[in-house]
Amino acid sequence: MFRHHPIPFLTLTAAFAVGSAACSPRDTADRSASVGDTAAAGDKSAAGSRMATKTGEVRDLQAPEAARWDFDQNVWFVANINGDPFGKDNNGFIARLTADGKVDSLKFIAGGRSGATLNAPKGMAITGDTLWVADIDAVRAFNKRTGAPAGSVRVPGAKFLNDITAGPDGTLYITDSGLGPNFSHPGPDRIYQIKSGKATVAFESPDLAAPNGITFMDDALLVVPFMGTNLVAWSPGEKSVRTIGTGPGQQDGIEILPDNRLLVTSWTDSSLFLVDDGKATRIAHPVPSPADIGFDGKSRVAVPLLMENRVEFWELP
């Protein structure tokens, strides 16, 4: 995965506990990605549950960490780290895919091109015509239609900004997983907020356990931990979190379905699972190194497989 990267591949796999996860060969950065139609897949071990169906994939990406659906343009954005997830190397990029999962522009936004700075892009959020991207210790803004840079907000004290979401009033909330070199976890575990172009700490607690995926539901932020199993909710102004469910561990992405069930990924058991009234049910497996998912608001989910250099598409049951 992280070729030209100071952290050895075996160290990464040990840190993420993914065993012998395969790593796709690295091709040239501008090589066109392809979609491969695949057969339906699923783990029938989840008794009584209906499984999602794999419908396709995009290959030849470079450590894709997050996917985001744009309802206005009917396109997917995919953030590619393309190297060291801690490295300020300005070679990250955002790919744009069509609604059916074909590459429209492999490097729609690219660090070091047209004035863009993008080191190791991870989670993304959209407000109006702006695509916001979490990038190590800063949040970058781009025009979602043209890809042009639209500003940057430095986040003082940030170590490993991971996912980002927007509240009803436009306030941005960003998780900081508190990860260090070799994916150690010195903390602190934080949620930052950005208002009026200024970043401040909104909440800090070890109960966040390396907060990863984040999304807004009603008046609360839902957060999934990478170093824990408790899925939690936190409302701005509160002094503690409340548990809303339990996952297998090493959770990464989270999305809310129209019926308010939650869709979450787990590295621990290489799965995509649903949380309904606190109960977790696996609906897709195996999905190795599943990162920050995107959802089209209907039935299709984009699952970036970070260490496989590809994105899979799954149709929900």
Please indicate, yes or no, if residue 278 is contained in any of the structural domains.
yes
Q: What pLDDT was estimated at residue 26?
A: 25
Q: What pLDDT was estimated at residue 46?
A: 41
Please indicate, yes or no, if residue 179 is contained in any of the structural domains.
no
List for the chain the helix, strand, coil content (%; round to 5). 5, 45, 50
Tell me how far apart the alpha carbons of residues 42 and 21 are, in angstroms, rounded to a whole number.
18
Tell me how far apart the alpha carbons of residues 234 and 242 are, in angstroms, rounded to a whole number.
7
- What's the structural domain count of the chain? 1
Tell me how far apart the alpha carbons of residues 200 and 61 are, in angstroms, rounded to a whole number.
33
Please indicate, yes or no, if residue 79 is contained in any of the structural domains.
no
Cis peptide upstream of residue 286 (ω within 30 degrees of 0): yes
Please indicate, yes or no, if residue 173 is contained in any of the structural domains.
no
Helices (H), the chain: 9-16
Each of the 317 residues of the chain gets a pLDDT tens digit; together they read 222 233 322 233 333 333 323 332 222 222 233 233 333 334 444 434 589 999 999 999 999 999 999 999 999 999 999 999 999 999 999 999 999 999 999 999 999 999 999 999 999 999 999 999 999 999 999 999 999 999 999 999 999 999 999 999 999 999 999 999 888 999 999 999 999 999 999 999 999 999 999 999 999 999 999 999 999 999 999 999 999 999 999 999 999 999 999 999 999 999 999 999 999 999 999 999 999 999 999 999 999 999 999 999 999 99
Q: Beta-carbon neighbour count of residue 20 at 10 Å?
A: 6
Q: What pLDDT was estimated at residue 253?
A: 98
Please indicate, yes or no, if residue 95 is contained in any of the structural domains.
no
Please indicate, yes or no, if residue 288 is contained in any of the structural domains.
yes
The pTM is what? 0.86
Query: CB-hemisphere CA count at 13 Å for 103?
Result: 20
Please indicate, yes or no, if residue 213 is contained in any of the structural domains.
no
Residue range of the domain that includes 272: 16-22+34-58+255-317
Please indicate, yes or no, if residue 239 is contained in any of the structural domains.
no
Which residues are bridge partners to 270 per DSSP? none
